[in-house]
Chains A and B, each alone.
Chain A
Amino acid sequence: MSGLKREGDHVHRLDALRGTTPQQPHDARAIAALAANPGCARRALMDGAGIDKDAAARHLGFPAPFGQSPFAITRGNMFEALVKADGCAELLRMLREVLGLPVAEVSYHDVENVGAHLRHAHTKALFDRAAREGHDAGTLYDHPLLSLRIAGHTAYLEPDVVAFQLGGRFHIVEIKSFAVIDGQADPAAVAAAARQAAVYVLALRNLLEELGHDPLKVSHDVVLVCPENFANRPVATLVDVRKQLAVLRRQLARMTTLDRLLEGLPDDLSFDLLPDEDGRPTRPVAELADALHRTTARYAPDCLSTCDLCFFCRDEARQEGASDLLGRQVRDELGGVASVAEALGLADGSRDPAEGQEEIARLLRNAERLRRECLN
């Protein structure tokens, strides 16, 4: 992690951005979401400073539509319990089928046995032993606790299960309750799961590296366990997360080079919510909104499923009539045309294309002509 260490003054600058608001610890979901929109400076700054985006969005009057539903959480927990029931009987079957785990490998360690406060140390000790002793150590590690340095702060992560002894390598097992129907699952859900698993892979690799072992002992293939078809029967699939790992690494490295972003900011800028004794934010909404508007966001409709501030940024994008609203694909095709009004103006000829806009203007005019012909 040496590349991720930063100088102290940037930490101070980030702490100043956060102000008196307590820091929001990162979880795997939040870290994974970082990789979803790497171009957004607003998000990079807020995450770097560990600001509670949900609280900020709520205070601004744009509460996010997500946070998991209690039903989804219950369903997820139930399915996880089912997979882990009876000494991980179902999981062992799947690992034997998918990865050819030998029958003798059934050892199961529940890291949580040591009590919550020692879990991280115990996880370290167990993995150190496993990596050193090779085949005589455990096979399944339940409730491990890993850590990852995010922009100078430590985030604690809890993978579902870590399996070892599949060819001497560690595999992250991610249990998700979305269904795989006829071999197909919702691509968005799989992508999210893969991003999340990549966070665990990265954290585990860092742990092994710290302990002086080969980080590549952690496989980039993660085992994704989902219910099959319309029954509750779990099925395991191997998912390659190399791509997600690369994005995540880049994003995390970028977070530590926030200097560039910070340099462009006015000195008095702060996202402090000024919480009172009960933790209720007291900062005037307009002031906070103004502070946020001074950082550039890169809104895309995908943000709606990954970022707490999504409604705020969408509102901003709407007011500006930005072409971002129409999604990444449209934005890319409209390269050089920043707003919807501008695009419409180019299309109906009421606006002359600026330099470099001739090509897109011709396309838009053609499109407009076709549309008119269709409508008439």
Chain B
Amino acid sequence: MSDRLDDLERRIDELRAGVRKAMRVRDGATARVLRAELRSAERAWDALVSGRPPQAKEEPQPQKAALVTVREQVHQGLRLLGAAAQPRLIVAVSDAFFGGTIRSSQLTSLRRDEERSFRSSPFGRPYYLCAALTDRLSPARGLLTLSTWPLERRVVGPLSPRVDFLTCAIATATAIEERDSDDERALRLLVRMARNIPGATDGTLGPPDPGRVAAAARAELLVHAERDTRDRAELAERATAQLGDAARLFGAATLSTIKKENAK
């Protein structure tokens, strides 16, 4: 036991030095991650000294997540959801399935950073986190998508917000089923989604059955699918015809789109 204590003390010292270093270079994100680790190490040390078993849940997550950047965590979340999503939802999914450490506020500047990186060296990265495109081909507010998706999936027609929500609900339900997850956060996310899909809950207060949620969402999706696919195809066609590479990923400025349409 004293070996472990020694290890922990060494680790705590290292982390403290790391936090100090990160603060000196004003790297807030790293400092926050290191602090979180530091706290969990200190808790483990407390638990060991007082002879109580450490709380199993808290320890492993932050360390695993620290290896993954914010960008990568958002990518993971979006890949699971498979549709344009708001930062809140991405954070919830990342938290529920990947032990993520991101917060919504960290996602605000992400799209701008990605755009800057793309403009300085186009297609230099395997994927970009980019905007969803509105019917004006401008970036939709507060929606993130992946550059690897086909354009049809990245545009937003009138029905698309609902369709995307249902797609996300199906993806979440399927992910829970596949992983056989009984993680509290994943179930809470599912409950929140199921509440807003007709027929997804059986009226009881307990966690809904993922299979049932997915089936209900698919049923509603069928109602909207045809019109939405048509709207999206049309928008995607327009985007391909009118926009350059950068604008296709990050959206056209509103005014220029209007000018272009007026000029036609």
**A, B assembled together:** yes
A-B contact count (CB 8 A): 66
A85 touches B135 (CB 8 A): no
Measured between C-beta atoms, what is the minimum distance from B104 to chain A in Å? 10
- B interface, how many residues as a size bin? 20 to 34
A113 touches B254 (CB 8 A): yes
CB neighbours (8 Å) of B163 from chain A are: 87
Give complex CA distance A108, B195 in Å. Answer: 20
CB neighbours (8 Å) of A113 from chain B are: 134-136, 138, 140, 254
A110 touches B195 (CB 8 A): no
Instruction: Name which of B31-39, B47-55, B113-121, B154-162 contacts chain A.
Output: B154-162
Q: Does B22 contact A (CB under 8 A)?
A: no
CB neighbours (8 Å) of B164 from chain A are: 86-87
- Given the known interface contacts A85-B86, A103-B220, A113-B138, the answer about A118 and B162 at a Cβ–Cβ threshold of 8 Å is no
Give complex CA distance A110, B168 in Å. Answer: 20
Measured between C-beta atoms, what is the minimum distance from B228 to chain A in Å? 9
Instruction: Count residues of chain A with CB under 8 A from any CB of chain B.
Output: 23
- Given the known interface contacts A85-B88, A86-B165, A86-B168, the answer about A103 and B258 at a Cβ–Cβ threshold of 8 Å is no
CB neighbours (8 Å) of B159 from chain A are: 106-108
CB neighbours (8 Å) of B220 from chain A are: 103
CB neighbours (8 Å) of B223 from chain A are: 103-104
In chain B, what residue has the closest Cβ to A109?
Answer: B158
Q: Does B4 contact A (CB under 8 A)?
A: no
Give complex CA distance A106, B158 in Å. Answer: 8
In chain A, what residue has the closest Cβ to B86?
Answer: A85
In chain B, what residue has the closest Cβ to A233?
Answer: B195
Within 8 A of A (CB), among B125-142: 134-136, 138, 140-141
Measured between C-beta atoms, what is the minimum distance from A119 to chain B in Å? 11
A103 touches B198 (CB 8 A): yes
The 8 Å CB contact of B162, one of A85, A106, A115, is A106
Measured between C-beta atoms, what is the minimum distance from B51 to chain A in Å? 39
**Chain A window 64-101, contacts with chain B (Cβ cutoff 8 Å), 1 for yes, 0 for no:** 00000000000000000100011111101100100000
Q: Does B255 contact A (CB under 8 A)?
A: yes
In chain A, what residue has the closest Cβ to B157?
Answer: A107
CB neighbours (8 Å) of B254 from chain A are: 113-115
Taking each of B136, B164, B196, which has the highest tally of chain A beta carbons within 10 Å of its own beta carbon?
A: B196
Q: Does B230 contact A (CB under 8 A)?
A: no
Q: Does B224 contact A (CB under 8 A)?
A: yes
Q: Does A158 contact B (CB under 8 A)?
A: no
Give complex CA distance A109, B134 in Å. Answer: 10
- Given the known interface contacts A104-B223, A106-B224, A108-B158, the answer about A115 and B86 at a Cβ–Cβ threshold of 8 Å is no
Taking each of A96, A110, A112, which has the highest tally of chain B beta carbons within 10 Å of its own beta carbon?
A: A110
Q: Does B89 contact A (CB under 8 A)?
A: yes
Q: Does A138 contact B (CB under 8 A)?
A: yes
Within 8 A of A (CB), among B166-195: 168, 193, 195
CB neighbours (8 Å) of A87 from chain B are: 160-165
A86 touches B161 (CB 8 A): yes
**Chain A window 127-171, contacts with chain B (Cβ cutoff 8 Å), 1 for yes, 0 for no:** 000000000001000000000000000000000000000000000
A88 touches B161 (CB 8 A): yes
Give complex CA distance A80, B168 in Å. Answer: 21
What would be 24 A-B contacts, judged by CB atoms less than 8 Å apart? A81-B88, A85-B86, A86-B89, A86-B165, A86-B193, A86-B196, A87-B161, A87-B164, A87-B165, A89-B193, A89-B196, A103-B198, A103-B223, A106-B159, A106-B161, A107-B159, A108-B159, A108-B161, A110-B134, A110-B140, A114-B258, A115-B138, A115-B258, A138-B158
